[in-house]
Structure 1
Amino acid sequence: MSIKICLVSNTSWSFLRFRTDVIRSLVHAGHEVVLLAPPDEHTKPLAELGARIILLKSLSRKGLNPIKDFMLYKEFSQIYAAERPDLVFQYTIKPNVYSTMAARRYRIPAIAVITGLGYAFINKGVVTFIAKQLYRLALRHTKWVWFLNHDDFHFFVARKLVDRAKARQIPGEGINCFDTFNPELITVADDGDAMVRFLFIGRLLYDKGVAEYVAAARRIRKKYPDTVFWIMGYLNVDNPTAVQQAQLDDWVADGTITYLGAIDDVRPVISSCDCVVLPSYREGMSTTLQESAAMAKPLIASDISGCKELVDDGVNGFLCRVADVDSLVACMERILELTPMERQTMGVNGRKKMVNEYSVDRVISIYHEAIADIIQQQNDKKIKQIS
């Protein structure tokens, strides 16, 4: 039996970046899939996934504005009144709050996916307090709430933001370890040099630890001058902690780092590096680290939620203390002291971990189990009405 399913996110980009395989699997299963997101440069490629797209006009990722947020709730209500989906999946705080409220109005089951706590929870204050209250209000009306890591799960349950009975931890967004992030699919020419190349992948945000990465790079290059430090990711994103162009230009000008820009297919760059580094302050479940591990690369990451689950310290990488340049430098030196064969062994260990624990097939099965449960409940309701 097929049903109509809406998926809601705060960017079209995030659907393509994190949920391509999930969306395709739902379409392939015969469900009518409708994607709700604001328009951006990635909206057009979404249509190739076989889903219908409804562009949201009122969803702003910036701040909490009561008038704008009410308009967003109203927009969701109008869409659900017209579409009458059987189930809604939603991601990030504003969809999780206002889409849930609108879905409840029409008795549509909603599943909230907590992809991370983000800026509002890293920087505590009035915004954090309001965000907690909104979550507490909205999540009581969800069917389930899914978390990408244990710390976020515990945070919400311990503070009674969600009922423990409806909370579940899932293994991230899922990584396609065979058809996409597979080192055997990418050929990289061996230039024969002995340089070690570190790579930072992510939005250029201070919360991602990019300043610590640059500071560590500056210190490492004084001791190991042939070491290369790459940065790849979006600049000037819509976020209060975004790195500005002038700062990036200064880092490049003094020779500390090489900025590669934002690249759609990250696999060739990952294949060309020796270690991927993410000294982030907070993650839901780092897709960058999962993809890099799946590509058989050693990792350096902060010992924080959303990163520490992916790194078995000393086995497939090293964990550093958050916002601690000394600790990050020490981890980089440990990578530099390894032989190429030892780094390769670390990478192989990481790939095995991704295949066994974080495969997208596991995540897809969770979605389909949830859908099967909704279908069963609908059938039971129909039988009850007939009898």
Structure 2
Amino acid sequence: MSHLNAVPEPSRGLVVLVSNTSWYLYNFRRGTICALRAAGFSVVALSPTDPFSQRLEDELGVRHQHLNLDGKGTSVLGEGRSFVGLALTLRRMKPAFVFNFTVKANIYSGLACRALGIAYANNVSGLGTAFLHDSWLFRRVRALYGFANRGARRVFFQNQEDHRLFHAHGLLKATPTTVLPGSGMDLTRFAFSPLPDGPLTFVMVARLLGDKGVREYASAAAQVRKAHPDVRCLLVGPLGISNRTAITADEVTAWVNAGQLEYAGETDDIQPFIRQAHVLVLPSYREGMPRTVLEAAAMGRPAIVSDVPGCRHAIRADETGWLCEVRNADSLAQQMLIAVKRPREQLAEAGIEARALMEAEFDEAIVIRAYVSCLDAVGEPVL
């Protein structure tokens, strides 16, 4: 691609980005990858192979290396193999710096980097299942998380509540930290779009997980459509996610057959779905900083989100969106029904305010500068 031709040859060493999906790196860290290459670094994406792995290479000019990592795996043997394989890969690569994204990558790659003396940073983009549920296993996971964080050059957070929680649980100690506005928004790519004509349309864009509030959305959609059959409720996102709380295909089929919602499947471009919607819905149980809410806001769409960390930080309540109770389909349905009755001009004004919030506080350039600044002292030993 033409923009890659202008990137200088790597001259400052190797930077590795580790994640549990290539999809995540392609969609959420594209700007960071391009900035690292423009700064003269060679970049490797270390993640499980998926349809976005080749796009990382072809479109962003990075090398993809397969990572054997199962998002919902819990067997000691399988997880041990994943950790050892990751550590051996990093030892062979000898990177100047490693950026870790998503919970398992933060823990496994953080532990490996700490053992190998490789400089690294962890990114807490959400607490994940290990913090939403409590058991002996998840308590051990949190302990390992703390050990991995304490060896990092820096730990990035996406909201202040997660930051305080990690401090309260002793998962940081003296590690430098920075709270960022999510993964930042490319405000050129996600351009403002006026609200459409036609029936009022809600859209939920998320991985199909119970912890994202998908079941609450389906239940609320049924209530809304019973009162207002002309209202559309779209659900967009991938099935078959490797996670303990994954929604089954049978559940989605039952919702569609009952007329509760329309399922659009997985997409690599959510913009057409946001353009045809008036309000985004995300009743998640907890987030770091929900990307889909930011993307919708950049395009001029208000959101109804659960009153939990991350979600409530992505909106200004009653200005750019509205809050519902977490794990409460009736509360969500009530907010959706209120939105149905609002004049379109009111929804449009909330969308304009949402775009203004993105421009003022969530520009991707803020995030990119923070990551690139980690590399100012690459080569110093990790203590």
1:183 is matched by which residue type in structure 2? Answer: F
In structure 1, which of residues 280, 290, 293 is the aligned counterpart of residue 284 of structure 2? 280
1:300 is matched by which residue type in structure 2? Answer: I
- How big is the shift at 1:259? 0.9
In structure 1, which of residues 169, 176, 194 is the aligned counterpart of residue 186 of structure 2? 176
- How big is the shift at 1:83? 1.8
Q: In structure 1, what is the equivalent of residue 42 of structure 2?
A: 32
Q: 1:71 to 1:43 in 2, by over 3 A?
A: same
Alpha-carbon deviations, 1:190-232, whole Å to 9, x = none? 6x53x11111111111211111111111112222221111111
Alpha-carbon deviations, 1:44-99, whole Å to 9, x = none? 1110211122212x322223333333323322332232221111111122221222
Q: In structure 2, what is the equivalent of residue 46 of structure 1?
A: 56
Q: 1:238 to 1:80 in 2, by over 3 A?
A: closer
Q: Secondary structure of the equivalent of 1:370? A: helix
* CA distance, structure 2, for counterparts of residue 146 and residue 308 of structure 1: 19
2:370 matched to 1:359? no
* CA distance, structure 1, for counterparts of residue 325 and residue 167 of structure 2: 26
* CA distance, structure 1, for counterparts of residue 143 and residue 289 of structure 2: 24
* CA distance, structure 1, for counterparts of residue 106 and residue 97 of structure 2: 13
Q: In structure 2, what is the equivalent of residue 84 of structure 1?
A: 94
**Contact 1:203–1:237 (Cα < 8 Å) also in 2:** yes
Q: In structure 2, what is the equivalent of residue 271 of structure 1?
A: 275
Please list every run of 5 or more consecutive structure 1 residues that lacks an aligned counterpart in the other structure. 382-387
**Contact 2:150–2:174 (Cα < 8 Å) also in 1:** no
Alignment of 1:47-126 (within 5 A): 47=57, 48-56=59-67, 58-126=68-136
**Contact 2:114–2:148 (Cα < 8 Å) also in 1:** no
Q: In structure 1, what is the equivalent of residue 141 of structure 2?
A: 131
1:50 is matched by which residue type in structure 2? Answer: G
* CA distance, structure 2, for counterparts of residue 77 and residue 240 of structure 1: 25
Greater Rg over alpha carbons, structure: 1
Which stretch of structure 1 is more off in the superposition, 195-204 or 68-77? 68-77
Q: In structure 2, what is the equivalent of residue 299 of structure 1?
A: 303
* CA distance, structure 1, for counterparts of residue 32 and residue 94 of structure 2: 21
Q: TM-score, normalized by length of structure 2?
A: 0.92
* CA distance, structure 2, for counterparts of residue 227 and residue 77 of structure 1: 51
* CA distance, structure 2, for counterparts of residue 20 and residue 78 of structure 1: 26
**Contact 1:183–1:271 (Cα < 8 Å) also in 2:** no
2:218 is matched by which residue type in structure 1? Answer: V
- How big is the shift at 1:41? 1.7
Please list every run of 5 or more consecutive structure 2 residues that lacks an aligned counterpart in the other structure. 1-10
Q: 1:77 to 1:239 in 2, by over 3 A?
A: closer
2:325 matched to 1:321? yes
Q: In structure 2, what is the equivalent of residue 336 of structure 1?
A: 340
In structure 1, which of residues 186, 200, 203 is the aligned counterpart of residue 204 of structure 2? 200
Q: Secondary structure of the equivalent of 1:322? A: coil
Alpha-carbon deviations, 1:226-269, whole Å to 9, x = none? 11111111112222222211111111111111111112111111
Q: Secondary structure of the equivalent of 2:117? A: coil
Q: In structure 1, what is the equivalent of residue 26 of structure 2?
A: 16
- How big is the shift at 1:165? 4.4
- Count, aligned residues: 370
- How big is the shift at 1:314? 1.0
1:80 is matched by which residue type in structure 2? Answer: L
2:347 is matched by which residue type in structure 1? Answer: R
1:61 is matched by which residue type in structure 2? Answer: G
**Contact 1:252–1:258 (Cα < 8 Å) also in 2:** yes
Alpha-carbon deviations, 1:76-133, whole Å to 9, x = none? 3322322211111111222212222222233211101112111222121122211111
Q: Secondary structure of the equivalent of 2:218? A: helix
Which stretch of structure 1 is more off in the superposition, 270-279 or 36-45? 36-45
**Contact 1:157–1:164 (Cα < 8 Å) also in 2:** no
* CA distance, structure 2, for counterparts of residue 98 and residue 198 of structure 1: 38
Q: In structure 1, what is the equivalent of residue 159 of structure 2?
A: 149
Q: In structure 2, what is the equivalent of residue 5 of structure 1?
A: 15
Q: 1:123 to 1:84 in 2, by over 3 A?
A: same
2:221 matched to 1:217? yes
Alignment of 1:179-258 (within 5 A): 180-183=189-192, 192-193=197-198, 195-258=199-262
* CA distance, structure 1, for counterparts of residue 94 and residue 125 of structure 2: 25
Which stretch of structure 1 is more off in the superposition, 80-89 or 296-305? 80-89
Q: 1:236 to 1:70 in 2, by over 3 A?
A: closer
Which stretch of structure 1 is more off in the superposition, 352-361 or 331-340? 331-340
Q: TM-score, normalized by length of structure 1?
A: 0.91
1:260 is matched by which residue type in structure 2? Answer: A
Which stretch of structure 1 is more off in the superposition, 271-280 or 326-335? 326-335
Q: 1:259 to 1:38 in 2, by over 3 A?
A: same
Alpha-carbon deviations, 1:308-347, whole Å to 9, x = none? 0011111011011101122212211221222111111100
Q: Secondary structure of the equivalent of 2:74? A: coil
* CA distance, structure 2, for counterparts of residue 211 and residue 72 of structure 1: 32
**Contact 1:5–1:32 (Cα < 8 Å) also in 2:** yes
**Contact 1:212–1:279 (Cα < 8 Å) also in 2:** yes
- How big is the shift at 1:357? 0.9
Q: In structure 2, what is the equivalent of residue 259 of structure 1?
A: 263
**Contact 1:35–1:53 (Cα < 8 Å) also in 2:** yes
Identity of aligned residues (%): 33
Q: In structure 2, what is the equivalent of residue 385 of structure 1?
A: none
**Contact 2:152–2:175 (Cα < 8 Å) also in 1:** no
